[in-house]
Amino acid sequence: MEKHASRRQFIEGLIGYILLRRTKDQLDSDGNPLVKLPKKTEKLHVVKLGQLERLQYDKISREMRNSVYGYFAGKTARHDSESRHLQTMSHVFVKLIRLQQTCSHLSLLNNVLPIDEVKDDGLEAPKDIESLTKMLGEMTVGEKITKMLELLEDLKTQNEAVKW
């Protein structure tokens, strides 16, 4: 039981670290704002997935949905163990990350989707995808997101320079 408790604490700590949020009304011990945050802005980006991306997204989404449905079906049928709960929650968390990666670029899926399945869409050669995958494999998640945003901004700039 101790083994499962330490796993649970680890997962809760990891998720808590990733989902850490500060609000403007939080104060430190002296009564000063804990963090000075700019006004919140939200932008909705609608992403149109290509055929291969859509297939991968749907597959991952189905797997995640089946895990959740299976967990709740099993929970009502018999006593659920803590290890099964942790396993299911970990699986769902990983699948959510995979869905985000699929929306950004299939190369972010690294070993989940073999690189030879990523077809050339005319924007970049497969060798560029391999070098990007290698480079991204050495970065943290935050660095990966920043780099992908930079690459997308460069692509946007290039597309704006081209007269259609």
**Res 1 pLDDT > 70:** no
Give 36's DSSP letter: -
Tell me the average pLDDT of the chain: 71
Q: Rounded mean pLDDT of 84-107? A: 79
Identify the residue with better confidence: 77 or 150.
Answer: 150
Three-class HEC string of 109-159:
HCCCCCHHHCCCCCCCCHHHHHHHHHHHHCCCHHHHHHHHHHHHHHHHHHH
**Does residue 67 or residue 124 have the better pLDDT?**
67
Cα distance between residue 164 and residue 160, in whole Å: 9
**Does the pLDDT value for residue 123 go beyond 60?**
no
From residue 20, alpha-carbon distances to 9, 23, 91, 98, 115 in Å are: 16, 10, 21, 20, 33
pLDDT score of 126 more than 80: no
Beta carbons within 8 Å of 98's beta carbon, 6+ residues apart: 60, 109, 112
Q: How much is the pLDDT for 26?
A: 80
Q: Would you say residue 159 has pLDDT above 70?
A: no
Domain boundaries, the chain: 49-109
Residue 89: C-alpha distances to residues 2, 46, 67, 70, 84 (Å): 18, 27, 9, 12, 9
> What pLDDT sits at residue 34?
79
| Model confidence at 129: pLDDT above 70 | no
Secondary structure (DSSP) of 42-84 = ---------HHHHHHHHHHHHHHHHHHHHHHHHHHHSPPPHHH
Give the least confident one: 22-26, 40-44, 47-51, 126-130: 126-130
- Dist. CA 60–CA 92, nearest whole Å: 10
